Structure formats: structure tokens, C-alpha cells
Amino acid sequence: MKKYFDEALERMSTDERQRYYRKKIQEIVRYAYENSPFIKRHLDAAHIKPEAITGPENLQKIPVIKKEEVRDAHRRSPPFGDVIAVQPEELQRIYMSPGPIYDPERKGERRLKESKALFGAGLRPHDRVVVTFSYHLVPAGLLFDTALRGFDATVIPAGVGNTELQVGLMRDLNATGYIGTATFLLNLINKAEEMGCPFGKDIFLKSAILTGEKVPPSLRNTFEKRYGIKTGQVYGTAEIGLFAYECSENSGMHVCEEVFVEIVDPKTGRNVGPGEVGEIVVTFFDQTLPLLRFGTGDLSYMQVEPCSCGRTSGRLGELVGRVGDSFKVRGMFLHGPQVEEVLKKITGINKGVLIVTRKDQRDQLTVKAELDNEGVDKDEVRQMLGKKFREACRLKIDQIEFCPSGTIGKGEKALVDERTWDQNPVERKSLRSQASLVPPL
């Protein structure tokens, strides 16, 4: 049986990989400068010409591009903020991610790196795979759909929610694979037991690709030991797609060859050493959206020791936090400014904060709000807050608490993450020990 999706790339020697990245970096920097006005402005502002970037060793001359810069460019010049390097008529789909940022997909795009990631994480052509991410607006559902068909797996496009219906689908269609969050898989397992068709007896799921949220080791162990489901994690962003994946060894996530990944100090943009924690920064070898040194906002570290699976790429370690005021909740990114905007729109609220906690393996969202005065209609505020929050953030608030004036401190952030995770983090050097780091995501 085929072990690698693209053996020639995945098993390059050290010298081959160095030559490969040198060529790719030179090509994409030149192409992006000539075809993306956004990138040209970015390089010109740093007084950098394309010929100055000859390979990985001097790529860090380019300042890291923050997601906020891309978002602001979209706002100044909608819909794409002159970031894309192709004409709009060349696109086959346009997605939306928080910001809003409109993510382009070029006609004929095959999602080969995503296929490589899912294949590497354990799915195969004979699998029938339930995709439980949204097919609406955001790229996730269709991205996974296209990637699975890239190696002839069968797709069951289930989308989000409807646990009872999805349990029936998995049972009737003999689903062998799952793609979604760990939390939703647990919900499906619990629903199946309620319905009298438990996993391992009436539903024989073999593989689960988990992404979109932190996976506690205890939950992963439950899937594998109790239900016999082999789990693998993949990682990516809305702008770039999937670009890292666990292999059968589950010892870090291999980086796809279609990108070049650096781990950098968020304050300086300079590379940190192997094993040291920093921000994941990606250069994307793509002619539609040629992002150079794009900061994902996620904190991790790079593992460079050989993997026994035979692949020779570097591997990302666990995600240990976020840079700045953004968190991933139920598979969706939440940004502090988003929450602030929603709270400002609600008549009757003087001050508010959204608190993220975790209970029974599920993220919980609680709004604490101070009212303008005691005469405010609380039921109306609750209704409007829930409605506006779903519209802006595509997430449901679990609880709304009204508190006395002065409870919320001056200058307190609008978004606070108080989640805890049942794992003992591996000690890492450098940035990981700083108090400014948010809890693991």
C-alpha cells in the first residue's frame, strides 16, 4: 500500500531540501513583488528588493506580515485589499474569515498540500469520511472536501450540528473516517450511545482527523483506547489552508513542502532556535495569495530531529498559545476587537467582557455586562446580545450575567481566556515562560 502522498518531496535529502527551498523562496519573492501591490508596498517600506532575498538564510530581512495588516488592507480596498496576485475573474470561490478577510481560491485549484496532509495523517482512498466543518462562507468544509477527493476518498459532507442525523449517517453509510473538532466527535459518541448505536458496536470509525481546537491528551486517549479510533492532528489557517500534519508516529506535525515555516520572536521577527517557542510564520509558495512571512499568531516550536516515518521535513510541536488578543473557540477564531464591536452595538450595556472557560470538554462563553442603569430591559439586552454575537462571530453565548457598576475594571480586555487543559506541558525555553502568553489553545 502506498505510504507517502508525494514521496519525492516528502523524503528529500538535506541538500535537496535546501536547494528546493532556496529556489522556491527566490521565485515567490520575485513573483509577489511583481504581482501583488500589497507585497510590493510591504517590501518597499522596508527598503528591500527581491534580489536581496536569495534563500532561507536572509528571508527574515522581510518584516513579518500581521493578520491585522491584511485585514486593514481589505477594509481600505475591498474586497481583496490588493493582496491577491491574480485577477478576480480567475477565482472559482471566495470565502470569508473574521475581519472580515475575503479568502480567494483560484479556478482549478486542487488542494494538493491538503491532500498530502490528510493522507499523511492516516486517511486512505478506501475511506468514507464525514466532514463536519461548515460548507458555508468559511473555507473549511470545501477545503477538506476537495483534499479528500485528491486521493479518491469518499466524502460525506455532513457540515456542522445535527448530531442525531450525523450519527445515523455514520451508521448507515459505514463511515470509517471523521474530520472535525475533538469536542464534536465526543458529542457524536455521546449521542450515539443515547440512540443505542454506540461506537465500536454499530459504528466502526477507524480514523479521526482533529483540528480547530486544542485536543487534551486525556480526550485523545479516550478516542484511541476506549473506542479504537486512530487520531491525527492537522494545522493550518484560513488564508493558507492546511500546511502541517501528524504522521503515524504522532511526534509533531510535518510541514508541507508548499510552504516555508519559521519560528520567530514575536517582538523582533527574528528566528529562534530549534525547540524554542515563538510565533509560527509562513511563506506561501502560491501565485494566488503569495504571502511572505505571514504571522499566524500561533505559538509553537520546531522539531528538527529525524522522524522514524521516513519524512525529512521539520515538524511543528504542540501549539502552546496565541500572540495578542485572539483565541480559537469551538474551532472558530475570536478576536478582542470583534467582541468590543458587538458590545458597543448593544443599547443599555455600559461595559462588558466575554470570558471563555471549559467544562466537560466543551468551550463555554459567558458575557459579564454592566448596564447603563437599573431601568434597562435585561431580557431585551440578552436577546440583542445573543443575536448580534452570532451574526458577528458565528458562535453562541452560553450565559449572560449582569453585574454591578464597577465590577469590570477600567481597561480590562473585552475577551478573556480562562480555560485550563489537563496536560503537563513539556518545558520549553525562551518565550514560553513569559507571563504574557495566553493559555494553550
- Grid cell, residue 305, equals 530531529
Q: Which residues of the chain have pLDDT under 50?
A: 423-441
pLDDT for 434 equals 33
Q: What is the pLDDT of residue 101?
A: 87
* Fold assignment, 329-417: GMP Synthetase; Chain A, domain 3 (3.30.300)
The full DSSP string for 48-68 is --GGG--SGGGGGGSPPBPHH
What are the residue ranges of helices labelled H in 325-377? 336-345
- Residue burial 353-383, b: 16+ Cβ < 10 Å; e: rest: bbbbbbeebebbbbbbbbbeeeebeeeebbe
Which pLDDT score, from 0 to 100, does residue 432 have? Answer: 36
Rounded to 5 degrees, what are φ and ψ at 295?
A: -80, 120
Q: What is the pLDDT of residue 404?
A: 85
pLDDT value at residue 267: 85
The three cell numbers of residue 190 are 455521546
- Quick one: DSSP state of residue 80? T
What is the largest distance, in Å, between two alpha-carbon atoms of the chain? 72
Which of these, 157, 166, 202, 171, lies nearest to 184 by C-alpha position? Answer: 166
Q: How far apart are CA 359 and CA 55, in angstroms?
A: 46
- DSSP state for residue 439 in the 8-state scheme: P
Domain boundaries of the chain, sorted by first residue? 329-417
